[in-house]
Amino acid sequence: DTGVSQDPRHKITKRGQNVTFRCDPISEHNRLYWYRQTLGQGPEFLTYFQNEAQLEKSRLLSDRFSAERPKGSFSTLEIQRTEQGDSAMYLCASSLGGWGEAFFGQGTRLTVV
């Protein structure tokens, strides 16, 4: 098991384009989280899944953001009509159960130009 994997590691996109990120959690973990982190700040919660069910979404997750975890394994985070303010590191984490130790992937760094 190689831990939580995120793809791509870096993404540069033009304003207005759509982007999609992928997260592969640790195989036996049923909980999956997405966070966003901007320079000098702590990670901010975006959403989380228990198996395939999306249980909570932050107010930060505007209508342009959507996340899925169709079979309770990998997850995707899509941002439509990207804006410069979307530039950030997007982090994915997984855990076993609601209170289990969470492990993070290496993140996807998005730059919107």
Partner 1 sequence: GIQVEQSPPDLILQEGANSTLRCNFSDSVNNLQWFHQNPWGQLINLFYIPSGTKQNGRLSATTVATERYSLLYISSSQTTDSGVYFCAVIGKAAGNKLTFGGGTRVLVKP
Q: How far is the CB of 81 from partner 1 (least distance, A)?
A: 25
Stretch that binds partner 1, among 11-19, 59-67, 74-82, 92-100 (CB under 8 A): 92-100
Stretch that binds partner 1, among 11-19, 61-69, 73-81, 88-96 (CB under 8 A): 88-96
C-beta closer to partner 1: residue 47 or 82: 47
Give which of 59, 72, 83 is closest to 25, Cα–Cα.
72
Name residues contacting partner 1, limited to 41-70 (CB under 8 A): 41-45, 48, 55-56
Give the separation between CA 79 and CA 113, rounded to whole angstroms: 15
User: Do 75 and 7 form a contact (C-beta atoms < 8 A)?
Assistant: no
Residue 84's SS3 state is: helix
The answer to the question of residue 16 lying near partner 1 (CB under 8 A) is: no
Q: Which residues pair with 50 in a beta bridge?
A: 31, 53
The answer to the question of residue 33 lying near partner 1 (CB under 8 A) is: yes
C-beta closer to partner 1: residue 80 or 87: 87
Give the separation between CA 101 and CA 107, rounded to whole angstroms: 18
